[in-house]
């Protein structure tokens, strides 16, 4: 039953970079390929690490930069007909994403990661893998081809 509504309201943790751009492109392709799909709404979220005392002075600027980046991505997604909400938070990324998913009644979390070899995967876990392991929400995972 839950799978019927998987694409109803996606939470998209966005961080600028190859994986973030890949994720947005995949979502845009999915919507354009199936315009009558159930995906009509999504939420872009960016979480800024709290950091220490030294970075506290830069926190406000980092929050503003993240909001600007999300506004740019929001415009891209709205151009293909999606209703997009944005949220910038500060704190532990996994915890803030879980809190946002609960707060906004998200149907699934969409994430992507860069391809990494097995040795690197063992020694340096990725954010996407950590989110998949710790999330109790359905997760739509996009992985670039090798």
For residue 87, how many other CB atoms are within 10 A of its CB? Answer: 18
Q: Residue 45 belongs to what domain range?
A: 2-142
Residues 6+ apart with CB under 8 A from 116: 124, 126
Higher pLDDT, 59 or 71: 71
Domain count, the chain: 1
For residue 5, what pLDDT band results from cuts at 50, 70 and 90? Answer: low
> Is pLDDT larger for residue 46 or for residue 60?
46
Range in 7-16, 50-59, 83-92 the model is least confident about: 50-59
67-80 pLDDT per residue, tens = 999 999 999 999 99
**Four-CA torsion 125, 86, 92, 106, nearest 10 degrees:** -80
To the nearest whole number, what is the mean pLDDT of the chain? 83
Burial (CB count within 10 angstroms: exposed 0-12, middle 13-18, buried 19+), residue 109: buried
CA 79 to chain centre: 18
pLDDT confidence bin for 101, thresholds 50/70/90: very high
- The per-residue pLDDT for 1 is 40
**What stretch of H or E contains 120?**
helix 118-123
Q: What percent of the chain has pLDDT over 90?
A: 42
90 beta partners: 48
* Burial 7-35, CB ≥16 within 10 A → b, else e: bbbbbbbbeeeebbebbbebbeebbeeee
Q: Name residue 105's beta-bridge partners.
A: none
- Shortest CA distance to 140 belongs to which of 50, 17, 37? 37
Q: Which residue has better confidence, 38 or 29?
A: 29
**What's the whole-model pTM score?**
0.83
On the question of pLDDT at 100 being above 70, the answer is yes
CATH of the domain at 120: 3.40.50.620
């Amino acid at each position: 039953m839950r799978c019927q509504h998987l694409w109803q309201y996606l939470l998209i943790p966005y961080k600028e970079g190859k994986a973030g751009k890949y994720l947005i492109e995949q979502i845009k392709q999915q919507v354009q390929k199936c315009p009558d799909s159930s995906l009509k709404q999504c939420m872009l979220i960016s979480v800024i690490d709290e950091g220490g005392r030294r970075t506290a002075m830069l926190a406000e600027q980092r929050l503003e930069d993240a909001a600007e980046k999300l506004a740019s991505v929001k415009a891209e997604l709205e151009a293909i007909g999606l209703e997009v909400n944005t949220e910038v938070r500060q704190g532990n990324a996994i915890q803030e994403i879980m809190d946002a998913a609960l707060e906004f009644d998200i149907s699934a979390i969409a994430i992507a990661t860069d391809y990494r070899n097995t040795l690197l995967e063992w020694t340096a876990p990725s954010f996407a893998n950590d989110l998949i392991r710790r999330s109790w929400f359905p997760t739509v995972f996009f992985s670039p081809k090798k």
